[in-house]
A and B are shown apart, each in its own frame.
Chain A
Amino acid sequence: MIKYIAKRVLMAIPVIWGIVTIVFILMRVFSHNPAFLLLGQHATADKVAELTRYLGLDQPIWKQYLIYLGQLARGDLGTSLFTKQPVLTEIMERMPATIELAVFSVVISSIIGVTLGVVCAVKQNSVLDRVLQVTGLTGISLPRFWLGLMLIIAAAVRLKILPVSGRFNFMNQPETITGFMLIDCVITGDWSALGSTLRYLILPSLTIAVASIGSFMRYTRSTMLEVIRQDYIRTARAKGVAESRVVSRHALKNALIPVVTVIGMELGGLFSGSVLTETIFAWPGVGQYIVNGINNTDYAVVQSGCMLVAVIAVAMNLLIDILYGYLDPRIRY
């Protein structure tokens, strides 16, 4: 198992290198001289040349690449033009919010999605199955940012029951320990803050979950149908094992192996999707930070932010891979 994990970690390194390199290529090779962007369009040629030299942009491209990698290794992701703060610091402050929303949503939607998928597979071609299939596909087809807005209108304004923006109530928030508010609430035993925090999570995570549930359900259904045909399922039945146990134990554990991969991909997708959901719900995470960067034409923020989110998504996939190894003994050994 340790060997397997080590292998996975090693395999993630070239992927991260790839992400970093793609951003570099896009930024330095294809884009205009950042000096123009920093100084504005009316800068004098002298000033541009000076800044170009200062930024090291007159160096050959491979040297720039090495300098860039060195900066990254030191955690230097550049400085925000707008706040003049190091981008890394700003992102790290916001990362827990993004992770919390994504992980919370994915956990909820995988529980619901996998359950519904199993139900569909067991009741294959029934009316319930067909209705859920179409509903799931509809869920996948709704643009998340639009669904979020519709939910805000429906739940928050018409019914006035749920908060529509932000992550917590200033009057009722836990002490910050980890930055993950749910965890902080539990650690400090602040149950009323926990309730309040959960209420803030409902709309954003529901927005995310609708599509995720749809895709988890459809995928679980098709893998379950595949697994249920296997010989070992017939063996289990031949042993006299109850049908409910055949489904929930023998079939599901095998079906979960590919489903977990899809859940991992979805989790990665949610980190990038945070640019949309966080904007709608004013969720103080990295996605919102990136969108602010877009609006302020703050390139360091946009590019480094996207890069870091991509790296975090890779890390999350790594965790999923490890879970995969736990589920599938053929990989573990």
Chain B
Amino acid sequence: MGALLEVRDLTTRFRVGRRVFINAADHVGFTLDEGETLAIVGESGSGKSVTALSVMGLVPNPPGRIEHGEILFRGEDLLKLTPRRMRGVRGNKIGMIFQEPMSSLNPVFTIGSQIAEAILTHNDVSRAEARSRAIELLKQVEIPDPERRVKTYPHQMSGGMRQRVMICMALASSPDILIADEPTTALDVTIQAQILELIRSLARERNTAVLFITHDLGVVAGIARRAIVMYAGRIVEMGPVKELFAKPLHPYTRGLLRAIPKLATPRGQPLYTIPGIVPDLSRLPLGCAFVTRCPDREAICGKGKPPLRTLGDGRQCACFLAEGGV
């Protein structure tokens, strides 16, 4: 049996100047299995959001365009679907929630009508039926007093509540995949934990696969079993979270892990940061994109792009210097 979702060699290109193009996602490939939670980690500009939008067919065009690759959902290439059939996938087979709950809901419609719309778009049910399902969904995301809440407008709710509403809409048609693009970044820390727990439990109950996008490695450990690390549009490392944390193969991953402040860090010792800044995607170095910031760089690193190599027990890494099983 093939994977639920398989992304092959995806390259999404953006035009940023008259003759300047960047590959926001550059030869990205990964698989997502039924019911699995996969995290994509990276800084802003690493291509993680663009990858998600590419799967949804929501890359803003212009300036963006999927240059090549395949996105196979149950073996069918989503990139070859007509816009009409793609709409049948969006929100129905694949749901998505976004980073900004404050601006992601339409301010002029009640939240009830926005959830109902998600239901009515893909299911042949009456308005009344959609409404009662909306109330049911609000109950499932633990919003108190859902009968009254359906009649309120987004501006009357807090950020956490709105994110719950977003989850309702994304799950309205019981999709096979939920794409969560930094769903907790804009929220308070306590609310973050609640939302994460909600996504995890709902996904488990419904056996929904989750593509969880975040810049926060701390979050990854709690939610995903497998993770992808992206840097400058490319996958630099991929593997089971446990091993990735225990024995990171790519120097960038090591840097990220070291940058997480730990309680054990002795007071007074400066916190670690990766030196340098994320490179401008239109002026990438010739070889490995990380070369300018890499503490372990050698002559070969500036010569060519390191390919993503399989290094034993389901782990992959794009570094010339990484060795499997070490």
Contacts and interface: CB of A to CB of B under 8 A. Distances in A.
Nearest to A229: B60
Interface in A241-281: 241-243, 250, 253-254, 257
B108 A253 contact: yes
B88 interface: yes
A327 interface: yes
B108 A327 contact: yes
B105 A232 contact: yes
Contacts of B103: 230-232
B87 A242 contact: yes
Contact of A330 (B98, B105, B153): B153
Contacts of A231: 98, 100, 103-104
B96 interface: yes
A241 B96 CA distance: 13
A243 B83 contact: yes
Interface in A220-248: 230-232, 234-243
Contact of B92 (A234, A240, A327, A329): A240
Interface string B65-108: 00000000000000000010001111110011010100111111
Given A231-B100, A238-B90, A329 B108 contact: yes
A62 interface: no
B107 A240 contact: no
A328 B108 contact: yes
A329 B58 contact: no
Given A231-B98, A235-B169, A240 B122 contact: yes
A239 B169 contact: yes
Interface residues of A, number: 22
Interface residues of B, number: 32
B108 A240 contact: no
Contacts of A238: 56, 58, 90-91, 95-96, 98, 170
Contacts of A241: 87, 91, 117, 121
Nearest to A239: B91
Contacts of B100: 231
A235 B104 contact: yes
A238 B104 CA distance: 11
B155 interface: yes
Given A231-B100, A329-B155, A237 B58 contact: yes
A239 B105 contact: no
Contact of B118 (A239, A242, A250, A254): A239
Contact of A234 (B58, B110, B169, B172): B58
B25 interface: no
Contacts of A54: none
A253 B100 CA distance: 21
A296 to B, nearest CB: 51
A235 B121 contact: no
Contacts of B95: 238
A240 B83 contact: no
A175 to B, nearest CB: 42
A170 interface: no
A333 interface: yes
A254 B87 CA distance: 23
B104 A232 contact: yes
A328 B155 CA distance: 11
B156 interface: yes
B153 A240 contact: no
B147 to A, nearest CB: 18
Contacts of B155: 329-330, 333
A241 to B, nearest CB: 6
B7 interface: no
Interface in B279-319: none
B90 A236 contact: no
Nearest to A254: B108
A327 B109 CA distance: 10
Contacts of B169: 235, 239
B41 interface: no
A230 B107 CA distance: 11
B191 to A, nearest CB: 19
Given A239-B172, A241-B121, A333-B155, 18 more contacts: A230-B103, A232-B106, A235-B105, A235-B166, A237-B58, A237-B90, A238-B95, A238-B96, A238-B98, A239-B169, A240-B88, A240-B90, A240-B118, A240-B121, A242-B121, A254-B106, A327-B108, A328-B108
6 contacts: A231-B103, A232-B106, A239-B169, A241-B117, A250-B109, A253-B106
Interface of B: 56, 58, 83, 87-92, 95-96, 98, 100, 103-110, 117-118, 121-122, 153, 155-156, 166, 169-170, 172
Interface of A: 230-232, 234-243, 250, 253-254, 257, 327-330, 333
Q: Top 6 nearest A-B pairs by Cβ distance? A: A240-B91, A239-B91, A240-B90, A231-B103, A232-B106, A329-B153
